[in-house]
Structure 1
Amino acid sequence: MWRSFLFIPVLEERFIAKAADRGADAVILDLEASIAADRKPEARATLPDVVARLSPQIEVTVRINPLWLEAIRDLEACVIDGVTTLHLARSESAEDVAAIDGILSELEMERGLPTGRIRFIAMLESPGAVLRAESIALASPRMAGLTLGVEDYATAMGSSASDTLLRPAGAQVIQAARAAGVEPLVVPSSMADFRDFDALESAAKYARQLGSSGGYAVHPGQVNVLNRAFTPTETEIVWATRVLAAAVEAAKAGMGVFQVDGQMIDLPLVTRAERIIQQKSRT
């Protein structure tokens, strides 16, 4: 599970040099929005060296361009050892995801890499993509998560990236991800105001209450905000520990329902407690 991804432009040495020290669970080497069109070949050529430098220190993922030609060129560059996950910009349909999966599988076989090792996170950036979120999430066994591309989505909706617009869409993407058994990586907050850490924290806490497990950072200062918001609190850990201890005793007594501090506990709450402890163990 990822709490935080930090975008790193693959051609910016000053960002690459400190990327592994920022505290993010993974970095995203960006081949898409942060790279000018005339520098994309240079970015692809540079990528393997950057992956080799960073991958021993931190998990390395890559954002690729949308289909078709630019995406294929990106895949040829980033299907290498050290890359664990691809962020699929502007994922529009299950068919698009399946096509990328097929190309990726051919490249893995051609290069002697384990087929299926590289995972996907679909970036839903249009109203249509949000409506098709569950089918996109189920389109490939490589799919590991869904996220909402907040600024592109707002623009496509003819609006600004406000809470009023983003929160319902974020909830829809989170629910689709959970239904498909993949990670919801959604924080319904504008990426433009990247120094407004209070707004990000509020949106991240709201998203976690809806079931989101992490989010994206475009500034190093956002990483700690995301990590804090998506890490179980001490109160949650104490509650989960007490519930699991009581569950063991209840099982010995043949009880399916029991109480902890006056709260009725049954299987869904035991499962919730187990997840909290699992989340804590991954931090």
Structure 2
Amino acid sequence: MRPMRSMLYIPANSPGMLQHAPIFGCDSILIDLEDAIAYTEKDSARVMASWFLREFDFKDLFVTVRLNGADTEFFEKDIEAIIPCRPHAVRLPKCNSEADVLLADEKIGEAEEKCGMARGTVQLHAMVETALGLENAFRIASACPRVTALTLGGQDFTADMGIQKTRGGRELFYARSRIVAAAHAAGVASFDTVWTDLNDPEGLYNESKEIVELGFTGKACIHPGQIPTIHRAFMPEMSELRKALRVVEAAEAAEREGKGVISVGGKMVDAPIVARSAHLLALAELYGIEREAL
């Protein structure tokens, strides 16, 4: 799977934005049926999301749909309408435990089987938005094979904690570290929360660089104008790419020669470093940097 640096939230009842999604330049979109949709518009938004998923060509975008929570009357209706349309993934909000994930997994699996799809076709991105969910982050991320990403819902998390989100983001440092560590331990992707101030691109860039350094694989955004800033923050340094290339080439040579040990510059290299290096080279391709240029 290609790296997903940016995931653009688009309200499900915004046909103009959905129609222009392929030209915004993001790596993925998230069609939102939850917070962006008023209570009275849930049904019509679901119908519109379903139509776009069935009829519209999103090109090479990775398409995720954020469902309404399992504790709402809309949850099962969302699953029944969205799963047959085969989005790449659905995002489950307010995951507090592995039980929440397993419930969603079963409901999605039933919907898949009902329309002739193999169980597990649609991926699940689990959203952690409470202190309890944070404590259970690894169990949530590893609850079932359908889970391919763990994501932090910063606005609801700070509300649950009774604190305010600040420009510096110090209050989210522990939560971010916990989320990204749990995701890496479970072998899934990790997405950071949104930056809400559209008039502060410098703040967005600083926060994006920080989450890249923490190990997040992507960041959510709420406006197309934020996408270039996020992508700039994810761009690897050339020195990193050259080192990554040496690691990947050594791993490829070891595989060809049937060797189980990989050495680069006289130092042993293990599987996580090889995976990280391969990820960096995949990122480089998104910036038009070919191996031959390194």
Q: Which runs of 5+ in 1 are unaligned?
A: none
Rounded to whole Å, the distance in 2 between the matches of 1:152 and 1:248 is 44
Tell me, yes or no, if structure 1 residue 205 matches structure 2 residue 241.
no
Residues 248 and 277 in structure 2, CA contact (< 8 A), matched pair in contact too: yes
- Which residue is equivalent to 2:30? 28
Residues 29 and 62 in structure 1, CA contact (< 8 A), matched pair in contact too: yes
- Which residue is equivalent to 1:184? 190
- Which residue is equivalent to 1:65? 68
Q: Which is further off, 177-186 or 227-236?
A: 227-236
SS at match of 2:120: coil
Tell me, yes or no, if structure 1 residue 96 matches structure 2 residue 95.
no
Residues 54 and 60 in structure 1, CA contact (< 8 A), matched pair in contact too: no
Query: Residues 247 and 26 (structure 1 numbering): CA distance in 2 closer, same or farther, change over 3 Å?
Result: closer
Residues 124 and 146 in structure 1, CA contact (< 8 A), matched pair in contact too: yes
Amino acid aligned to 2:116: G
Q: Which runs of 5+ in 2 are unaligned?
A: 288-294
Rounded to whole Å, the distance in 2 between the matches of 1:180 and 1:127 is 19
Over residues 175-204 of structure 1, what are the superposed CA-to-partner deviations in whole Å (9 max), with x where a residue is unaligned?
Answer: 0111111111125xx633133221121111
- Which residue is equivalent to 1:83? 87
SS at match of 2:85: coil
Query: Residues 88 and 194 (structure 1 numbering): CA distance in 2 closer, same or farther, change over 3 Å?
Result: farther
When the two chains are superposed, the root-mean-square deviation of aligned CA atoms in Å is: 2.4
Over residues 73-122 of structure 1, what are the superposed CA-to-partner deviations in whole Å (9 max), with x where a residue is unaligned?
Answer: 11111112341100111111110110111011111111112221100111
- Which residue is equivalent to 2:40? 38
- Which residue is equivalent to 1:219? 223
Amino acid aligned to 1:64: L
Amino acid aligned to 1:63: R
Amino acid aligned to 1:172: R
Query: Residues 249 and 135 (structure 1 numbering): CA distance in 2 closer, same or farther, change over 3 Å?
Result: closer
For residue 153 of structure 1, the aligned residue among 153, 157, 165 is 157
Over residues 184-225 of structure 1, what are the superposed CA-to-partner deviations in whole Å (9 max), with x where a residue is unaligned?
Answer: 1125xx633133221121111111111111010101111122
- Which residue is equivalent to 1:4? 6
Residues 60 and 82 in structure 1, CA contact (< 8 A), matched pair in contact too: no
State how many pairs are aligned.
Answer: 276
Query: Residues 56 and 258 (structure 1 numbering): CA distance in 2 closer, same or farther, change over 3 Å?
Result: closer
Q: Identity of paired residues, percent? A: 29
Tell me, yes or no, if structure 1 residue 168 matches structure 2 residue 156.
no
- Which residue is equivalent to 1:109? 113
Give 1:164 deviation, angstroms. 1.6
Amino acid aligned to 1:185: F
Amino acid aligned to 2:134: V
Residues 250 and 258 in structure 1, CA contact (< 8 A), matched pair in contact too: no
Residues 84 and 111 in structure 2, CA contact (< 8 A), matched pair in contact too: no
Tell me, yes or no, if structure 1 residue 230 matches structure 2 residue 199.
no
Amino acid aligned to 1:266: M
SS at match of 1:266: strand
| TM-score, normalisation: structure 1 | 0.88
Rounded to whole Å, the distance in 1 between the matches of 2:127 and 2:215 is 17
Residues 151 and 191 in structure 1, CA contact (< 8 A), matched pair in contact too: no
Residues 250 and 262 in structure 2, CA contact (< 8 A), matched pair in contact too: no
SS at match of 1:75: helix
- Which residue is equivalent to 1:14? 16
Give 1:240 deviation, angstroms. 2.0
Query: Residues 158 and 103 (structure 1 numbering): CA distance in 2 closer, same or farther, change over 3 Å?
Result: same
Pairs within 5 Å for 1:240-259: 240-245=244-249, 257-259=263-265
- Which residue is equivalent to 1:273? 277
Amino acid aligned to 2:37: I
Over residues 153-176 of structure 1, what are the superposed CA-to-partner deviations in whole Å (9 max), with x where a residue is unaligned?
Answer: 111111111312111110110001
| TM-score, normalisation: structure 2 | 0.85
SS at match of 2:17: helix
Give 1:248 deviation, angstroms. 7.3
Q: Which is further off, 67-76 or 50-59?
A: 50-59
SS at match of 2:8: strand
Amino acid aligned to 1:87: R
- Which residue is equivalent to 2:292? none
Residues 29 and 60 in structure 1, CA contact (< 8 A), matched pair in contact too: yes
Residues 22 and 59 in structure 2, CA contact (< 8 A), matched pair in contact too: no
Q: Which is further off, 123-132 or 62-71?
A: 62-71
